[in-house]
Amino acid sequence: MDGPSSFYRKERVARETVGKISSYLLSRQTETQSPIDIQREAQKDYFSNLEQSLNQGLKAFAGDFYIVVITKKERLMQNVLRNYFAVRETCPTPDWDQTVWFARRVDQSIDYLWTIPAKDVCEHLKLNALYVVDAEKQLLNFVLKFEDGSLLKEAKKRNGEKFDSILIES
């Protein structure tokens, strides 16, 4: 009985789940990874998803728009990070685990606006600000602008809001 259904069963059994791979990697891991190393690992298929989001936004909106990327750790598997891409017409309120891109319809290009890493990464960067390598200085700058409210002011300006308008919390 070597028909298509037995092939499917063999193929299905050979596949490993994310949970199984995660558990295996955790059991083999002897040294701890820094939050920044974990963040970098999440970026593997990032740009192909960004391009898909650009195309989705071009179909959905008549004008310019924003692409928001939310990066989340899986609750039960702390070594697994996932990026969630969304398109929207308004600039989002800055928040942890967020990267924001501005997409221009006229030339179908995107501009990188900011990245705010996870809360623990922000704390790590602030505590080690004097030792941050050149490659992470821009990220530290975003973290400091997030903390002092500069990014919130920029988001409000992009949305045509007044600087003293209230922030609605849900």
* Band of residue 128 on the pLDDT scale cut at 50, 70, 90: very high
* Predicted model pTM: 0.71
* Band of residue 98 on the pLDDT scale cut at 50, 70, 90: very high
pLDDT digits (tens, 9 = 90+) for 43-52: 668 888 999 9
The pLDDT, as a whole number, for residue 9 is: 42
**Radius of gyration for the chain, computed over Cα atoms and rounded to the nearest angstrom:** 20
H or E segment at 70? strand 65-73
Intra-chain end-to-end CA distance of the chain, in Å: 58
Gap between the Cα atoms of 118 and 39, Å rounded = 9
